[in-house]
Amino acid sequence: MRTAMADIPLTSRAFETGLTLEEMAFGCERTVSYEAPIDCVNCEGTGRDDGGTCAFCDGAGTIVELRRSTITLPGPLDDGEVLELQAKGVPGTLAVTVRELPHAVFEHDGENLRTSLDVPAKILASGGLVNVETLDDDRELEVLPGSGEGSIVPLRGHGFPSKEDPERRGDLLVKLRASPETTLVEREARRWGAGLTAVGTAVALVGIGIMVAALVIRSNATVCESTETTVCMVVIDGERSEAADSAETQRSEQNGAAALGVAIGMAVMGVGGWITTRGIREMGRDRIEQRRA
């Protein structure tokens, strides 16, 4: 595994280097740099050129060249382990002490790794699959129904490689934590849904009101009775008004108005109902946000 790390300048044969957990597990390479004396490229090691003393090497005949070499640190490694390594071009051995750097997600515990995972309370209670990050990739983890806060679910073979047999690996122990009851997204959805539901209910009530009003007006309206003057009067809430020429016309106009009123009322109620439904759905929407702390 290669990493984009700065060269390690070899100022001493023994040095320390920090490795990530992944590098500790699977090994890595590091580039070391060192200065090597070489024959002066100007005077070819003589220290002199046409004008006398070589100006390039100041007469020394040698110059210093910066060289790089790669060292391979084979995983799995233990924190504090000292590796005796050879670097091509560097005589002798290098004593490299490896130090494990803290990891943002995993805690190293022998051959096991530990992590914690926020799981929605709903899944903790009724079970389900959640995604969990491992040292290698993301894996699905089955949460059994009734898993309580703090339960530890092992993911076999996703721990740290064994020193004896790197093919064998410990477990990743995943501690489940109930995620805060609602996430920000959920809270916003809930607020928006609640608002929508309230508006929908209000609109539906207006619709019902229109229907009721239409029916009340219909029942209040006393159909004109034929009088001597044959003037039809509509009586609404005790107030009389001249309206139609005949009882039949009056009746049919009133029926028409009432039917229109009921139709408008039903339409408005329908819209209100639809908005309410949307609001309720928005509130109950499943938003499972996996977050790792």
Please report, as ranges, the residues that interact with Zn ion according to CB under 5 A.
40, 42-43, 54, 56-57
- Shortest distance in whole angstroms from residue 87 CB to Zn ion: 27
Nearest residue (CB) to Zn ion, 42 versus 220: 42
Nearest residue (CB) to Zn ion, 61 versus 76: 61
Nearest residue (CB) to Zn ion, 15 versus 56: 56
Nearest residue (CB) to Zn ion, 57 versus 232: 57
Buried b / exposed e over 115-145, threshold 16 CB at 10 Å, is: bbbbbbeebbeeebebebbbbeeeeebebee
CA distance 75 to 22: 9
Nearest residue (CB) to Zn ion, 56 versus 192: 56
- Shortest distance in whole angstroms from residue 98 CB to Zn ion: 41
- Shortest distance in whole angstroms from residue 36 CB to Zn ion: 16
Nearest residue (CB) to Zn ion, 49 versus 253: 49
Residue-level length of the chain: 293
- Shortest distance in whole angstroms from residue 62 CB to Zn ion: 8
184-220 and 247-284 helices, crossing angle to 10°: 170
Place of tokens 């109902």: 273
- Shortest distance in whole angstroms from residue 66 CB to Zn ion: 18
Closest CA to 83 of 15, 167, 162: 15
Which residues, including other chains, have CB under 8 Å from residue 72's CB and lie 6 or more apart? 27, 28, 29, 85
Which residues, including other chains, have CB under 8 Å from residue 41's CB and lie 6 or more apart? 56, 63
**Nearest residue to Zn ion, using CB?**
40
- Shortest distance in whole angstroms from residue 9 CB to Zn ion: 25
The encoded tokens of residue 146 equal 């009734």
